[in-house]
A and B are shown apart, each in its own frame.
Chain A
Amino acid sequence: MPVPLRELAHCRAGDKGNLATLSVFPHDDADFAVLVREVTARRVREHLAAWVGGEVVRHELPNLCALQFVCERGADAGVTTSLELDTHGKTLGTLLLSLPVDP
């Protein structure tokens, strides 16, 4: 039975130019393997398609039980020039937490 990612993980969003970073961590380290299996770059891109126009790259950091997603938001997604309400993309981190995952 799928559950929202928020049940298993927490996430922080950051921004660097037109890139958004999404750092995903399990509440319980034992669930890291579930995150590695369920939270793929492709699923993140699909889930956030309305906000993330470009490529999504995933880095695995087993030393921290962390997944780091680097998302291209599009060439005109700078903090000052974007027409989004949240120009930084800070809300993307919590938007990702509604992703259904199979524990």
Chain B
Amino acid sequence: MTTRIGSGAGFAGDRVEPAEDLLARGGLDDLVLECLAERTIALGQQRRLADPVAGYDRRLPSRFARLLPLAVEHGVRVVTNMGAANPLEGGRVTRGLLDSLGSTAAVAVVTGDDVLAELDLDAPAWETGRPLREHGEIVSANAYLGADAILPALDAGARVVLTGRVADPSLFLAPLAHRLGWDLADPSAAAAGTLVGHLLECAGQLTGGYFADPGRKDVPGLARLGFPFADVESDGSATFGKLPGTGGMLNRATVREQLLYEITDPGAYRTPDVSLDLFGVGLDERGPDRVRVTGARGRARPDELKVSVGYRAGSKVEAEISYAGPGAHARAALAGEIVAQRLSGTALRPRVEVRGGPEDCRLRVAATSHDVALLELAGDEVEALYTNGPAGGGGVRVHLGEVVGIVSTLIPRARVRAGVTILEAGRARTAS
């Protein structure tokens, strides 16, 4: 048995047209949209604090308004983490869109990733070794749920699944396990599906996006970049492809780059579902834009789940000004010295650097602080270079914004309770 799963988004701001194309003529069984970066969910929690019906992906309504009509028409199931910090509300919006299309397809919402109330604030952060509470006010804590949290939604017959924080490959492993009858407790099956998910989760990065280097690595038709799909067999082997007529390319080189993307331990890539070993993976080009991938090996899943913790890290200012022509670099450097001197009496420790070529460059001043007035002063001092600095400064841009820092920790599985809510046309019920 073979099932076809497509990748319709690799990050929150991804393009919509390639997903429309896959839905319309891809012959897909499932489409997965991965839209949730670590910081995105923390920012979503802040929006939810300000407004209880906010916090899901702010592009969900516009993205789904374009994609759901095609998904309904072509019978494609959709799984996405666009629920972000408020999956239930994202589910209700999705339900409303389906109702307006006259579709009775069931929407399922996966909850339970929000573990803020369960968090041990004395636990150390991975990145710093310091207790979580020392980093600042904690605003969010989301556990990475696995495919086992999504599977009950699929068993209940959901045609659209909204999640919050779920490990990216798990978004793919769950529908694959459901279609192919895999047991998630079998590490070889979990490894095979996780490898497929890992390769597809960044969408266009498998098909020639984030790859082109003119003259060395040319990619045809990048402006019409198509997104990938995989034909996955019951034994776990998978052949990756993209639709005819789309731009980009899919070959051993693009697959190889994505295979190791963000992998910090190739012998033990840990997800909530499995510990994946890539040392036996083989790639085989089967034709134009067709690559077969085999050899994923797995060991039992970790006992604890990773938690992404967001904390208030103050604010950040970034201010720049341009210099051009002969002596530009020296004038930019002088401008940097002037700003540093003018800020030297403050508590600010800005990063001051000159970026760009010798005759066209920008002075860049960046700083973080909990004192917003001080950051505004830094921005003002860069702007003041117009009339109080070297000759020929132009094009000042100042950006000041709040910073949510992200650190990670672990939580025992027993402290995380995932649940599924089914939103049927006109009513809601709880499936597990």
Measured CB to CB, the residues of A under 8 A from B are: 6, 10, 12, 14-19, 21, 23, 25, 27, 59, 61, 63-66, 68, 70, 75, 78-81, 83-85, 94
Query: Would A14 and B127 count as touching, CB distance under 8 A?
Result: no
Tell me whether A64 and B281 are in contact in the complex, defined as CB-CB below 8 angstroms, given that A10-B217, A80-B404 are known contacts. yes
Number of interface residues of B (CB under 8 A): 45
- Select one of A16, A68, A85 contacting B364, CB under 8 A: A85
A10 → chain B, closest Cβ, in Å? 6
Chain B contact surface mostly: mixed
* A85 vs B38: C-alpha distance when bound (angstroms): 19
Known: A18-B127, A80-B313. A63 touches B282 (CB 8 A): yes
A63→B279 contact, CB < 8 A: yes
Known: A21-B260, A25-B257, A79-B38. 11 other contacts (CB 8 A): A6-B216, A12-B260, A14-B262, A25-B256, A61-B260, A64-B278, A68-B266, A70-B265, A78-B407, A80-B313, A83-B316
Q: Bound complex: CA of A78 vs CA of B279, how far in Å? A: 29
Chain A residues with CB under 8 A of B280: 63
A63-B279, A63-B281, A85-B364 are known contacts. Are A80 and B406 too (CB-CB below 8 A)?
yes
Q: Supply 30 A–B pairs (Cβ within 8 Å), ascending by A.
A: A6-B213, A10-B213, A10-B217, A14-B262, A14-B263, A17-B407, A18-B127, A19-B264, A21-B260, A21-B262, A23-B260, A63-B279, A63-B280, A63-B282, A64-B260, A64-B278, A64-B283, A68-B263, A75-B127, A78-B127, A79-B37, A79-B38, A79-B39, A80-B313, A80-B406, A81-B313, A83-B366, A83-B367, A85-B355, A94-B213
User: With the chains together, A17 CA to B313 CA distance in Å?
Assistant: 15
When chains A and B are docked, how far (Å) is the Cα of A40 from the Cα of B408?
A: 29
Q: How far is the CA of A86 from the CA of B258 in the complex (A)?
A: 20
A63 to B297, CA, bound (A): 13
Closest Cβ neighbor of A7 among chain B residues: B216
- Bound-state CA distance A12–B210 (Å) is 8
Bound complex: CA A10 to CA B217 (Å): 8
Restricting to B276-294, which residues have a CB under 8 Å from any CB of A? 278-283
Given A59-B266, A68-B266, A78:B405 Cβ within 8 A: yes
Distance (Å) between the CB of B404 and the closest chain A CB?
6
- In the complex with contacts A80-B39, A81-B368, A12-B406 CB distance below 8 A: no
CB nearest to B126 among chain A residues: A17
Instruction: State how many angstroms separate the Cβ of B409 from the closest Cβ of chain A.
Output: 12
> CA of A78 to CA of B406 in the docked complex: distance in angstroms?
7
Q: In the complex, A49 Cα to B10 Cα: how many Å?
A: 30
Which of the listed residues B127, B253, B265, B267 has the most CB atoms from chain A within 10 Å of its own CB? B127
Bound Cα distance from A85 to B210, whole angstroms: 18
Indicate with 1 or 0, residue by residue over B244-273, a CB within 8 angstroms of chain A CB atoms: 000000000100111111111111000000
Q: How far is the CA of A61 from the CA of B256 in the complex (A)?
A: 11
* A15 adjacent to B262 (CB under 8 Å): yes
